[in-house]
Structure 1
């Protein structure tokens, strides 16, 4: 089932809603401005006669009538309603999917699942919720995951407040590990710190920072350092200088992501939460699983007892993390005892499948996917 149409329609509704919100705020601000101006005029005119007060109010009424705030608000709301109605009609065309059909009884390691959930809470900075979950699930061993993420979020909060000192101190303590990985995080933080100092404290303070910090990165980052030195010539006109791209606020957003990736990597954790990745992969696979369950509706017991799915579930590249080969003939995943074998024709099967097809080491067999006759001796093992 293709949900792209529904997604695009929903995006249009969301866009209309945002535009309507902006328009509503503009109308409210305009009406409020007119009322405040009239109120100020009435306050300033302490000895105004009834006629003058009436004139002020009449002018206010005329301005509001001319501006027609209710008409403008109504027009904006009608556009949102129309888009929302179209979205509702589109959703109704799609059949209701009973996701319970795709459910199968699978044995889970309860402790591992609880650990993944607690890790997700800590990763998101929801430490009280994570502690509560661990207490109620009685998973005290999972609490060791808390301290690293407390430190990470404290540093991230500092970066959000334009305070890079905690992040720079962390990179200093882990300089050797970052160096071994070829990470540029430390220099990027120093670069961002230089621009921040130049904006906040001026040319002299930025130059002092450059002299004390950039000498360690001259070999690998001379080009970037030269651009930063060029900023000193435009200290009071940075917004119109050739290096104004260095002032882009997006650099702070990028450094948040890069720091999180490097921090998680050094503590042996993935950048994305395993719980998030699992749910995302499940959502991608759910339509195929529901379709498969419908096909096997008359064989419920077989469906419930499956140890391995009879078809491959295609996931996007972003959700593929390991090179795992599944034999197209047996549907079994390759193992050390049953590795993938490349045939002369270019097709790949697992060794056990080839042995079954050949029925003997000296006998040829036909490739299941092309007319070529193949001997086992001509097949080569593939190592991922």
Structure 2
């Protein structure tokens, strides 16, 4: 029985799962507080000003009434804004609650063989698949899966929808939407020391120079690039050199500055900064989860063609093996001998047997082969054929 002795180890990857809605909830609260403080300060000053002017006789009753109506109108607008933020707060509050309940359910599961673990794992797998599909751009498929499995509150589809709009604008060679996003998240981007806004300004300058709109480019640089001179003077000097080189130049580094691949780098940089602000992991949780398992299976033999195991996921370099490329080798205290033919472990129930040519395979695999070939076993490495009576047991010390 596979008893779960340490639930915390299996929950280590679930930190972003709860943090994402919690951070959005906190952000919504800050927005509400900001609106309230701003309006209260403005209205307090307005009321004081009205009181003072009315006492001094500078405002007649009609003007006072009109000013008070303006205050009521502002309060109505504040109420409307707070209603919107309250709905957002309720949304993320509910999501946090649902996700905590999901994780709490796992802590009550005693064994990996129980039905409860099977149900819990299915939910976890589905939400991980939704996360992966959203990152890969399959939004509609992800939404259908989330709806069919009833896990809408465990995924963050709308956050990917918002970021997708910015990425699509960058794909159209437009920085406008991304610059707007930078403005809305200016304080948070400053905390993570992001240089995305400068890169966007730099690209807009390059596009003006590409069109040979020299005067407009110079004016743009004076307005938007000069403010970055303390931290990015070297980059500013380099990009200003484009004024002397046409888009057809083969001179580096100016040819590289004109390269359209810079837009792909901007998309990647926006995605990285957006994931950091939204508390998403840089890599899909699906990849991280698979790599956690692959790291326990990876051995030096996985990358030697003649020793690859058909049942080992790491040995297949075109699929899961690609995810394991940069992972460290697993640490094994005891060696395990695996049959090259069947991929099964050789032990006391499936003894290792040696052919006359010195190659070792499992007893079960050789006997199965012999049963289908009139008592003959063929070595898959050399092609040599032997009678099954010629195989011998191997004793490993």
Q: TM-score, normalised by structure 2?
A: 0.44
Q: TM-score, normalised by structure 1?
A: 0.45
